[in-house]
């Protein structure tokens, strides 16, 4: 008979269904001292607010997916301008005139290990191909934990698994999605990766990650010290942009709406959403509401993803919009129990 578990108090670690916290203060601004007259400061701030209103830059990318098509795209948006050219992987808001605080010690350490800088990330490329859509693992860093976590997860480099670190200033507070881990070359290796991460994170406070699923490996499920786990999160969604060329033959243009192309299923119904599938320069997306999107960004649209032969919206507020199965050996935290297994808060007495 298992003894009752004594749940540890850890305010930085949320439960599976807890309300999301605000994102890291490290990403919300910079501190400065300004000796200019008040009138001049107010004038400059008004000008900066105007720039924030009109200047956005988003960059997304990846490699060829299993469809055999490159779906990488970078686009700049200035009050609704068109998409421009292929380029990189994640998107970042760049208001002109603002300087982003960075964790300089972390950036210097990772540069010495041959990581390359991509906006507010230091990236390790890895050897696996990045599909259009798939699972990613995330870890959050509590205040001042970033550098130590980066040193502790060296196995990712040893195993040539692609990943990146958010080098936002960790001295100011926690960093949400501090570490992003891309799929290993063999999906079966996800269990090993998750178990290594959750074992390492027992030494750290970490932080909750909004919009992700808290997970645990099958290897950890047999550990009586079950409360020591639960700081690894995963999300299934877009890695690279979905374009019309990638889904040729299953959808076709059917008209225009708000100046965008409208698509319908060619034969079998493959579009699964109650809003129209739209496109601009071949990039596919869904509007979030029945009103015209003011610009192509996550606040107004869902990017389209193709999974299981269906085109669905990549709803960023949910960890698994396409309802994909978790990788082998990985489980949602607190679910899918079998006889004799238990989670925090439960005590099973096998007969």
What is 275-315 written as a DSSP string? S-EEEETTEEEEESSSSPPSSSSTTTEEEEEEETTEEEE--
Q: How confident is the model at residue 220 (pLDDT cuts 50, 70, 90)?
A: confident
Per the document, the length of the chain is 351
pLDDT at 42: 52
233-252 tens-digit pLDDT: 999 999 999 999 999 889 99
| Average pLDDT rounded to a whole number, residues 94-104 | 55
pLDDT at 222: 66
Work out the number of other CB atoms within 10 angstroms of the CB of residue 335: 11
Asked if residue 328 has pLDDT above 80, the reply is yes
pLDDT at 172: 84
Q: How confident is the model at residue 335 (pLDDT cuts 50, 70, 90)?
A: low
State the average pLDDT for the chain.
75
- Yes or no: say if 206 and 197 are a contact pair by the CB < 8 Å rule: no
Percent of the chain past pLDDT 70, that is, above it, reads 64
pTM: 0.68
Which single residue is written with the structure tokens 């009050």?
79
* CA dihedral over 319, 323, 328, 334, signed as positive or negative: positive
Backbone angles phi and psi of 339, in degrees to 5: -55, 135
- Burial of 66: CB neighbours in 10 Å, binned 0-12, 13-18, 19+: exposed
The helix, strand and coil proportions of the chain, stated in percent and rounded to the nearest 5, come to 20, 25, 55
Q: Cα–Cα distances in Å, from 245 out to 133, 313, 340? A: 16, 18, 50
Nearest Cα neighbor of 181 from 108, 126, 133, 220 is: 126
170-198 tens-digit pLDDT: 888 999 999 999 999 999 999 999 999 99
List all residues 6 or more positions away from 309 whose beta carbon is below 8 Å from its beta carbon. Answer: 270
List all residues 6 or more positions away from 345 whose beta carbon is below 8 Å from its beta carbon. Answer: 5, 7, 334
Beta strand 330-332 with 251-257 is unpaired
Which single residue is written with the structure tokens 């290993």?
184
- Yes or no: say if 245 and 69 are a contact pair by the CB < 8 Å rule: yes
Largest CA distance in the chain: 77
26: which DSSP letter? G
pLDDT at 71: 39
Across the strands, what pairs with 195?
Answer: none
């Amino acid at each position: 008979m298992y003894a009752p578990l004594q749940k540890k108090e850890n305010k930085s670690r949320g439960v599976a269904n807890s309300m999301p916290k605000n994102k890291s203060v490290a990403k919300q601004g910079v501190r400065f001292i300004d000796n200019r007259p008040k009138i001049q400061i107010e004038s400059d701030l008004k000008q900066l607010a105007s720039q924030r209103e009109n200047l956005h830059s988003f960059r997304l990318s990846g490699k060829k997916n299993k469809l055999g098509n490159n779906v990488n795209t970078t686009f700049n948006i200035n009050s609704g301008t068109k998409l421009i050219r292929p380029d990189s992987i994640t998107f970042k808001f760049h208001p002109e005139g603002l300087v982003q605080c960075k964790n300089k010690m972390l950036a210097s350490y990772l540069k010495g290990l041959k990581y390359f800088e991509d906006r507010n990330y230091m990236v390790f490329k890895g050897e696996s191909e990045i599909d259009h859509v798939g699972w990613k693992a995330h870890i959050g860093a509590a205040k001042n934990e970033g550098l130590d976590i980066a040193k502790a997860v060296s196995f990712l480099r040893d195993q040539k698994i692609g990943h990146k670190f958010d080098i936002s200033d960790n001295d100011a507070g926690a960093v949400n999605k501090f570490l992003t881990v891309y799929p290993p070359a063999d999906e079966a290796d996800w269990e090993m990766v998750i178990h290594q991460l959750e074992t390492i994170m027992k030494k750290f406070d970490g932080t909750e990650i909004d919009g992700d699923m808290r997970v645990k490996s099958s290897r950890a499920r047999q550990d009586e010290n079950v409360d020591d786990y639960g700081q690894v999160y995963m999300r299934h969604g877009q890695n690279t942009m979905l374009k019309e060329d990638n889904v040729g033959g299953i959808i076709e243009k059917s008209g225009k709406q708000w100046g965008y192309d409208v698509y319908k299923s060619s034969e079998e119904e493959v579009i699964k959403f109650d809003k129209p599938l739209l496109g601009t320069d071949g990039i596919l997306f869904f509007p979030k509401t029945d009103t015209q999107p003011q610009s192509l960004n996550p606040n107004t649209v869902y990017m389209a993803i193709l999974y299981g032969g269906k085109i669905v919206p990549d709803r960023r507020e949910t960890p698994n919009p396409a309802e994909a199965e978790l990788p082998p050996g990985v489980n949602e935290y607190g679910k899918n129990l079998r006889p004799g297994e238990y989670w925090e808060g439960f005590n099973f007495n096998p007969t």
